[in-house]
Amino acid sequence: MIKDDFNELDKALDLAFQVQRLLFPPSSPLCTWCCTGVKNRMARKVGGDYFDFITMPDQCQSLFIGDVTGHGFHAAVIMSLIYGYIHRSTLGECAPKEIVDGVNKFLCTFARRTQKFDYYFSTTLFFAIIDPNSLKMHYVNCGHTPPLAKQGGKIISLPTSGPPLGFFDDPDIDVLEFKFKPGDRLLLCTDGIIEAKNRQGEMYGMQRLRGDLQHGAGDHIEFLDELFGQLDKFCSGQVNEDDMTAILLDFNRPFSSY
């Protein structure tokens, strides 16, 4: 009887895994003005990391990456709610602050229904819109791991602009701006990467990640494969305690030159 229960649980988790994978983009955006690669590894079969790339009617590119509090099945449920909300919100005019404000109100509404589980209705979220003609990015970063931009040989950490979502009814959130140049790189990740630990309990950390971006070779796909290879080497077989997601954008010529 117990064996049958475990088999049913495994089947349910497998189905949840397949459904969650359907939410993620089947491939990265086409490699025109910007080549994009993504790599995701859940600590369990399902998890709380989420991301997507949405081309807007005006051909601007929106992208987001977030990390729900906790990991496992409950995080996957809340991640799915957020994912659906963002997709519905981007059907209209895509304004980063308005969308993020909406996600915050959405989570706070659910959190108010319970004191026992209110903490889980929260997330970090980086949401950006990039104009392919100017390569200018407007973004909000609500408590998410700071993205790293490689520009002219320098590594630039893009600051946060607000707290994680789901904790405050009316948080202060700013829209920030960054202008890319052809040849630049942008690396986004969830905290499961920088908090990955080796056998001595040492974290991978931002400094190593900056070094990876500074010295990394290869294209956007090869870089991510190399990054996760470095993580595996660092962790030396240690089981991941959190979900890991990394996105790399390589900027080419402005879209108007095509």
Q: Are 158 and 141 in contact (CB under 8 A)?
A: yes
| Lowest-pLDDT range of 166-175, 203-212, 219-228, 235-244 | 235-244
Domain range spanning residue 94?
37-253
Evaluate whether residue 1 is within a structural domain.
no
Q: pLDDT per residue over 102-113, tens digit each?
A: 999 999 998 888
Evaluate whether residue 26 is within a structural domain.
no
Evaluate whether residue 29 is within a structural domain.
no
CATH number at residue 73: 3.60.40.10
Evaluate whether residue 197 is within a structural domain.
yes
Evaluate whether residue 11 is within a structural domain.
no
Q: What is the C-alpha separation between 9 and 15, in angstroms, rounded?
A: 10
Phi, psi of 160 (to 5 degrees): -75, 160
Based on the structure, what is the number of domains in the chain?
1
Question: How high is the pLDDT of residue 258?
Answer: 38
Evaluate whether residue 19 is within a structural domain.
no
Evaluate whether residue 217 is within a structural domain.
yes
Evaluate whether residue 21 is within a structural domain.
no
Name every residue whose Cβ is closer than 8 Å to that of residue 15 and which is 6 or more positions away in sequence: none
Its pTM surpasses 0.75: yes
Q: Are 235 and 198 in contact (CB under 8 A)?
A: yes
If one compares 96 and 45, the residue with the highest pLDDT of the two is 96
